[in-house]
Amino acid sequence: MQSAVANWRDRAERIRNPESWQPERKNLVFAVIRNAPVEHHALTLALFHPNIGVDASGNVLALKEDDFSTISRLATQTLDLPQTGEFRNAWIISRPTTSQSIERLLVSTAESAVAETSIQGYNNQGEFELREPVGDITVLPPLLQDLFGLILKARADYDPRNRHEAVLTRVLDVVGN
């Protein structure tokens, strides 16, 4: 994992009164949406220029410049990965059970659209063997391992009973996917 930014969430400062913050599509860098049996279409993390993050609870965070730029760069680098041929361009990690959560990474492109890369069955336990190879790739690429390890820190201390619903709704509306 990108050790220099591993604790990005600890360094981020919460913005007071998050309901007053208004996301704009033109400032969206990326968003990660979770699809799971219990949480369908739930935000995990979204980054917006300049240096703003919104976590799974709807907290609006001011990220340190280095953290923001590193995470943004990693997300953008996913555009260079091969297409998987799976629905939603999913990298599917081999798991013994079905109904694994899917984290959908939606990266803004120059055309004001989004490019999608998803991971089904991700966890931080170091188990990254793919169910089916993508070309000659049999293990989740290190870029995705690192990036999603960082992204899922936005779910630390997540409590579905304590969310800023208005913020989450506005972000999901801006993402539109």
d(Cα 117, Cα 20) in Å, to the nearest integer? 31
Residues 6+ apart with CB under 8 A from 97: none
Q: What pLDDT is recorded for position 2?
A: 58
Q: Which residues of the chain have pLDDT under 50?
A: 1
Q: What pLDDT is recorded for position 58?
A: 94
pLDDT tens track for 97-107: 777 888 999 99
Q: What pLDDT is recorded for position 91?
A: 94
For 149, the token pair is: 């390890």
d(Cα 58, Cα 45) in Å, to the nearest integer? 9
Assign 169 to helix, strand or coil: helix
Query: Which strands make up the sheet holding 28-35, listed edge to edge?
Result: 13-14, 60-62, 52-55, 42-48, 28-35, 102-108, 114-120, 90-92
What are the boundaries of each domain within the chain? 3-175
Q: What pLDDT is recorded for position 125?
A: 78
